[in-house]
Amino acid sequence: MAPAGRDRPLWATGIRQDAAGRAHIDAVMGPDEYHPVVDDNTYTNVLARWNLRHAAALVEATGGDRDEAAQWRMLADALVDGFDPDRGLHEQFAGYWNLEPLLATQIAPPPFTADLLLGADRVAGSQLIKQADVVMAHHILPGEMAPRSLAADVAYYEPRTAHGSSLSPAIYAAQLARARRPDDALALFRLAARLDLDDTTGTIAGGLHLAALGGVWQALAHGFLGLDPTGETLGIDPCLPTPWQALELRFRFRGQPVAVQADREAVHVTCRAPLAVRVGGRPPQRCDPPHTTIPLEATR
């Protein structure tokens, strides 16, 4: 994706508008490589929309061409995002609903490489997907997705996912946890965490799967612990799987080292300077150094 700024965003020139004024992005490949050339991939369109809006905001904030920024905002607003209100789901790309309705477990226990087993053409004509696609959009830009669509999208796409990419299980683990299915999340988290230990890919001789390991950390942070670093307030919304008694992560937030531990009863925040946190759906509250305990009961 092109950087925003003085240059025009890539998407400003790559979008087609139809007679009704809706905007489309044709002939792209989303994260799911089993469907290599598709129109209106939800993941791509959502990221493009975010990119256009942020580019416009940046141009406006830096004294750039406001007319052009306004044009980008119009394009962003007109971009279809695949959300089907009748189903309450995002369609991965235009025409996905009409593909052969195959579930992964009908072929083999995931993870497996469906394109090798069935052939690329058969897989491309089916609803089997290689990895998180719509669900990846939820992971990267949750605020850009239709409200309350996460649980339905995860429930729909996970059975159709072969997890034939090492990047997939951790992302699903994170989003299953966000969808309040922590025990289902744990199964995929374990698959992701043990990917190299078990040589699941058969390519360990070539090195570690660092992006997958990054996904493991994200599943812990954004999934099970529910960290949301957007803005100046740190969001915390833990959702622990049954076998876990507690989860603690140490990280830096807005420059200061922070530790967050969540157990069944409370969230414990350790910081060096006053910190605004938002636990669950509660309003932001102040955490004073060095330790603050926030009971969880009141948040549920």
Partner 1 sequence: MTAERTVLACLDPGPAARAVVETARGIGTLMGAAVEAVHVGRQASETLRTLAAHHDVPLRLLPPPTEAALLGAVGAPEVVAAVVGARATPGGRRPTGRTAMAVMEGTSRATVVVPPEAVGVSPRPFRRLLVPLEGSEESSRPVVECLCPLIVTEVELVVLHVFTPETVPRVLDRPGRDLEMLGDEFLTRHCPYATRIEWRTGPVGTRVTEAYDREDADLVVLSWSQHSSVGHAKVVRDVLTTSTIPVLLLPVGPRP
The residue ranges that bind partner 1 (CB under 8 A) are: 107-108, 111-113, 115-117, 119, 163-167, 195, 200-203, 205-206, 209
Q: Which of 59, 71, 240, 88 is nearest to 157 (CA)?
A: 88
Report which of 22, 9, 95, 18 is spatially closest to residue 48, judged by C-alpha positions: 9
Helix (H) or strand (E) holding 295: strand 291-295
Neighbour count for residue 265 (Cβ, 10 Å): 11
Q: How far is the CB of 168 from partner 1 (least distance, A)?
A: 8
CA 179, 146, 50, 230 torsion-angle sign: negative
**Identity of the residue, 201 or 285, whose beta carbon is nearer to partner 1 in the bound complex:** 201
Is the Cβ of residue 89 or residue 123 nearer to partner 1 in the bound state? 123
The distance of Cα 177 from the centroid of its chain, to the nearest Å, equals 12
DSSP state of 158: G
Q: What positions carry a catalytic annotation?
A: 33
Distance of CA 257 to the CA centre of its chain: 25
| Residue with Cβ nearer partner 1 (137 or 192) | 192
Q: What is the distance between the alpha carbons of residues 225 and 223, in angstroms, rounded to a whole number? A: 6
Residue 288: phi and psi, rounded to 5, are -95, 150
Identify whether the C-beta of residue 78 lies closer than 8 Å to the C-beta of residue 129.
no
Closest by alpha carbon to 5, among 76, 75, 56, 50? Answer: 56
Shorter beta-carbon distance to partner 1: residue 214 or 290: 214
Q: Is residue 125 a contact partner of residue 99, using CB atoms and an 8 Å limit?
A: yes
